[in-house]
Structure 1
């Protein structure tokens, strides 16, 4: 029934023509997929195409490599030393051994298959790889020492559940078994640690990191024939993996590594990735998002990196045109990403600026070839050996930079507004997703021309985010769109919520995202009204949370219809209609205080929630006054229109991990509830 409700909702929002176009596209995709499945039932899905490593365009990663920060080498080696032993940090699960051979800490249950031991790599291939691909996998396996212990690329190491690598990629199913999360094998299969291993060898002078990384890459290629298993389920994951492999090879080249047989095999898989992404782009005439954007960026980088050919240059032309289109489609006029999630804004922005950096160094040969193909229908030109996008696109790119600067602190942290799956595209160093919950995107923040001003206000009406900065604090206020053209798939019930940083420390926070499909109830809990710093009607959600499993959990119908009534440097006034009648929040902003009135014409009990960042402790001075102490100052929360209580809540430090933190709840029967936050500096 949920899928029918979703279709009816979409028809109401977008119209019958939209649904018919989507239906035709679905049928076309079904027929193409059916043909490929029949084709690869009779022949190997490996292309077997050899790649001349010397013709790879390593220069497109010059700027990326230059960003590497030696000062973070302690973190780099902490990660890479454990990768040597196949121990990974995966979505909140730390130091997990990902081999076939090892027992892990998960509880064995009816959904769990035990790890297996194999006498040889050949035995593994015979038992696990489909017959059409066994010959090619065996050839690849000869480049692995028999002492090498294979990684299990199909297992959710949190639950123990394992998918089948022989399943056709479009037949993979997930979300039906509680506690099982397909994002775990996806995450390890992105191979985002490969560039870090190359940097570790560069810094230490020890080739053990590169040797281990080569073996892991060969293991992946051998164990995951194209089009089969979880690792080929989405073009987005294939694109992220391919880009990281390209960067890895470029770092090795810069470090002076000579070309080996393993380099040839690793380079050859890029052809398979290129073909897979090109044929499986996650486009939709209805609602497409970060998955499609990742695929386009993957094609830009692959067609710029692999040896130049007419086919690759034509793909590059197509991808550049699609990038222009998606910049305008997926980023609003104010520069914010249309999915109404700040973490996803930075995720997709990483994809964009990584691709723009790559084409800055694409080389004269490819540019000249490309220039012979383009015409007035293209969305870009080539001038002075540079790819130049149309003015509208360039203006949107500048807006993205400005939005990114205004919504993050100097060190790159930003509030976790909307969904956050801890995803990233390509990083020179292991991401600073610290265990206390910091989120860092400093590489993006350091782009040229970004502007950040103290004592200023920024309004982003399209995204629905408003920022006020003072010398002592940074205030983020949420009011507006649920994103995705009304689908709301990555939005939360956070209308009129706020996050507050004081002296650079996050005080009042958004609890983040713990999981997507593994635990539907927890998915909805972290999206719920009660999980945000808002006035809560105890009997209602701002917007009804979806029931169901899998994709059903990525909807949110907009009943709130939020409006920003007044916004300037000193005042915010906004309202929503999610409870059937107006809920209004008015804030007066001073240099060391925020004075608020929450209005809702309901004389029954209601809550106002204040979620503290983990590690902070709230002290109840009395039922009307709360004190929060940090090194620089004391923060006071006061209200005479209700009573405060302090309870615990779950905060997601990253996707897959939650910790306990303090939540302050103001209980009141008043229709106009006054409360105040004040900052008193310590002497």
Structure 2
């Protein structure tokens, strides 16, 4: 590195350390609650939730009111089943079950009082006065939630710790994702939607006001006990972004019920939205290369905050900058074929949902918000990215007379993102789990997977049925609404009809790679290698595999699919993900997922868990549990680099993809290893081989409990 470049990096690092120290001193000495946010922007974003619309929703999906009622009842009871926790009533002082035999003793519950004196010992001194004031706005009889608790292990963070000093990932058995998941507030929209069903007379158990009151109380509880910048729930800007989006949507839906939310609550809420936006703006999870779904969530949080708040120079910058960055990241994080660049099919859903809801928000903006796009923006926050963007062009929103900032090519890319999900969906409706699965979502309005899973997060459909993102994208693009959740997205985006007018599926384009000469040459080569350097596997079926056989390829991520009435075969062969970081990739190059005659014969085992059990995390990432070429007991990547690091691992290369089958190779073991997948009328034949004489082992995966979602494992395996 040149001396001037090194000096520049040292100076930048010193600047960051100094800024961080100053930020901490300021936060400890002055209140961090935002003040004078002003009234929220007047909107009727959910004004469509009238009596007739709710009746039509229930007719479109008769199961939907029941699903929403159960979700809302769980929220009212503070009963949460997240990331494999099992149903837990989350409160201060509870005893937690533990993870893998690791549990922490409960912290003594505070003596809660209506005046908020109990907060004196929890909240830092500079914020306690405002915290107590906010707490006093909660209506009587409410029991606070312990937002700082990992309610699997029992470990608890402190509300007094500045977010920059929060530690996580260093204690075995402790999972920071648990409080983060709860504090995303993704349970709140169900409360607001239940209020509308109750108002329409479709739920008789509670009144509309009962649901609104609980949602208000929970938001006030969180705001009072989580001062901006303090505690575990401000440590990750991604979760801040998802939280503020869910809070804004819930507030808008509550406002549409006609229930008086009260001036005090509205002021506190708007100040909290402002604090969320400012926190995100100062902590963008941007990197010149290694940025991904976290940064997408940052952008979305800024957008929802900006649209909620009244116009100011600050919110106009957020809206214009966020829109420009959203369009940039769509191109950066999704390949032209619609596949994700993170090498994870499940993270594809999360990122697709973030883009979908952000587009829906921007398609139906109040006209006065368009002024934000008419000016050049200089993003001057002290943290990257450094951006200057000119005025954004406005385009006609399809099917309307409105204008919006989303270019037509973005809608085409979104359509292809849905196509990727459809292609990677097995005949049983469940997704192929190439790469990580943390069960992450953005906004959830009781979509069809909740109904399919019968309300049980441990059911495979809860995390692996991704059809809701497809129906949501179809509804947004004007193709009609398949269920209640997609109808809400369509109406939120300004589409008026609930009609189901899904287009006829287009014929698959040619998906060939290579030519028949390459196929024949490699088949012949596989027959010449030494016996120890090849392993052959046959999966037999009744004749008919080739009937109506279709193929799809996604060169971006590297997924190749064969499908017929009796066959589903997906092959992973391509990039490592996130431009080589591989944060959410597994050692699954040339791995297959195979169903024949409705039976799973080779299946990706999932992810199970991340930082609490690093050795278990690595086991689920290992080639040993995937049906992929193996060389003795070696890994094609260094799993010890870090739980979110697979740099310099194998990149897969597809050499042939045609009606005859597939050929791919990688060099993860230090030499060329090939996999030939031959699709015959009564079998799928696989040969793994090394033309250089290296030992090739049985690819049959080691036994491990199947994990359908984060924190879940079948059987008696690690829990």
Q: TM-score if structure 2 supplies the norm length?
A: 0.78
Partner of 1:655: 710
Distance 1:213 1:543 in 2: 46
Cα distance 1:28–1:343, how it changes in 2: closer, same or farther (>3 A)? farther
Partner of 2:700: 609
Pairing 1:403–2:389 present: no
Question: Alpha-carbon deviation of 1:220?
Answer: 0.4
Question: Alpha-carbon deviation of 1:145?
Answer: 3.9
Q: How many residues align?
A: 608
SS in 2 for 1:654: coil
Correspondent of 2:573 among 457, 479, 493: 479
Partner of 2:483: none
Cα distance 1:327–1:499, how it changes in 2: closer, same or farther (>3 A)? same
Alpha-carbon contact 2:433-2:606 (below 8 Å) kept: yes
Partner of 1:299: 302
SS in 1 for 2:699: strand
Pairing 1:324–2:333 present: no
Pairing of 1:20-35 with structure 2 (within 5 A): 26-35=13-22
Partner of 2:393: 381
Partner of 2:672: 582
Alpha-carbon contact 1:480-1:561 (below 8 Å) kept: yes
Question: Alpha-carbon deviation of 1:389?
Answer: 4.4
Partner of 1:259: 261
Question: Alpha-carbon deviation of 1:223?
Answer: 0.3
Pairing 1:93–2:85 present: yes
Cα distance 1:599–1:436, how it changes in 2: closer, same or farther (>3 A)? farther
Per-residue CA shift, 1:266-295, capped at 9, x if unaligned? 333111111111121111224111111110
Question: Alpha-carbon deviation of 1:474?
Answer: 2.4
Per-residue CA shift, 1:202-247, capped at 9, x if unaligned? 2226232222222111110000000011110111101100000111
Pairing of 1:133-152 with structure 2 (within 5 A): 133-145=127-139, 147-152=141-146
Correspondent of 1:540 among 631, 634, 638: 634
Alpha-carbon contact 2:319-2:372 (below 8 Å) kept: no
Alpha-carbon contact 1:409-1:504 (below 8 Å) kept: no
Question: Alpha-carbon deviation of 1:106?
Answer: 3.4
Question: Alpha-carbon deviation of 1:412?
Answer: 6.2
SS in 2 for 1:293: helix
Per-residue CA shift, 1:529-552, capped at 9, x if unaligned? 1111123333201212125xxxx3
Alpha-carbon contact 1:154-1:230 (below 8 Å) kept: yes
Pairing of 1:9-48 with structure 2 (within 5 A): 26-48=13-35
Cα distance 1:115–1:503, how it changes in 2: closer, same or farther (>3 A)? farther
Pairing 1:74–2:61 present: no
Question: Alpha-carbon deviation of 1:435?
Answer: 2.2
Question: Alpha-carbon deviation of 1:604?
Answer: 5.6
Per-residue CA shift, 1:371-402, capped at 9, x if unaligned? 35589954841144422445665554444343
Cα distance 1:392–1:606, how it changes in 2: closer, same or farther (>3 A)? same
Distance 2:312 2:140 in 1: 38
Question: Alpha-carbon deviation of 1:62?
Answer: 6.2
SS in 2 for 1:239: helix
Partner of 1:104: 96
Q: Which deviates further from its counterpart, 570-579 or 302-311?
A: 302-311
SS in 2 for 1:79: helix
Per-residue CA shift, 1:584-607, capped at 9, x if unaligned? 211122455322222246686822
Partner of 2:45: 59
Pairing of 1:253-652 with structure 2 (within 5 A): 253-260=255-262, 261-371=264-374, 378=390, 380-384=392-396, 385-389=402-406, 393=410, 396-408=413-425, 413-429=430-446, 432=450, 434-438=457-461, 439-446=464-471, 447-448=473-474, 455-502=549-596, 508-546=602-640, 552-590=642-680, 593-600=683-690, 606-609=697-700, 648-652=703-707
Alpha-carbon contact 2:363-2:404 (below 8 Å) kept: yes
Question: Alpha-carbon deviation of 1:173?
Answer: 0.8
Cα distance 1:320–1:17, how it changes in 2: closer, same or farther (>3 A)? farther
Distance 1:562 1:285 in 2: 24
Partner of 2:154: 160
Q: TM-score if structure 1 supplies the norm length?
A: 0.82
Partner of 2:239: 237
Alpha-carbon contact 1:125-1:138 (below 8 Å) kept: yes
Question: Alpha-carbon deviation of 1:76?
Answer: 2.8
Partner of 2:514: none
Cα distance 1:87–1:32, how it changes in 2: closer, same or farther (>3 A)? same
SS in 2 for 1:365: helix
Gaps of 5+ in 1: 1-10, 611-646, 663-683
Question: Alpha-carbon deviation of 1:248?
Answer: 0.7
Partner of 2:174: 180
Partner of 2:111: 118
Question: Alpha-carbon deviation of 1:518?
Answer: 0.4
Distance 1:24 1:462 in 2: 38
Q: Which deviates further from its counterpart, 231-240 or 459-468?
A: 459-468
Alpha-carbon contact 1:120-1:146 (below 8 Å) kept: no
Cα distance 1:399–1:154, how it changes in 2: closer, same or farther (>3 A)? same
Cα distance 1:554–1:372, how it changes in 2: closer, same or farther (>3 A)? closer
Distance 2:8 2:469 in 1: 36
Distance 1:497 1:423 in 2: 24
Structure (1 or 2) with the greater strand fraction: 1
Partner of 1:49: 36
Q: Which deviates further from its counterpart, 564-573 or 262-271?
A: 262-271
Question: Alpha-carbon deviation of 1:63?
Answer: 10
Distance 1:21 1:467 in 2: 48
Cα distance 1:529–1:59, how it changes in 2: closer, same or farther (>3 A)? same
Question: Alpha-carbon deviation of 1:331?
Answer: 1.7
Distance 2:167 2:649 in 1: 31
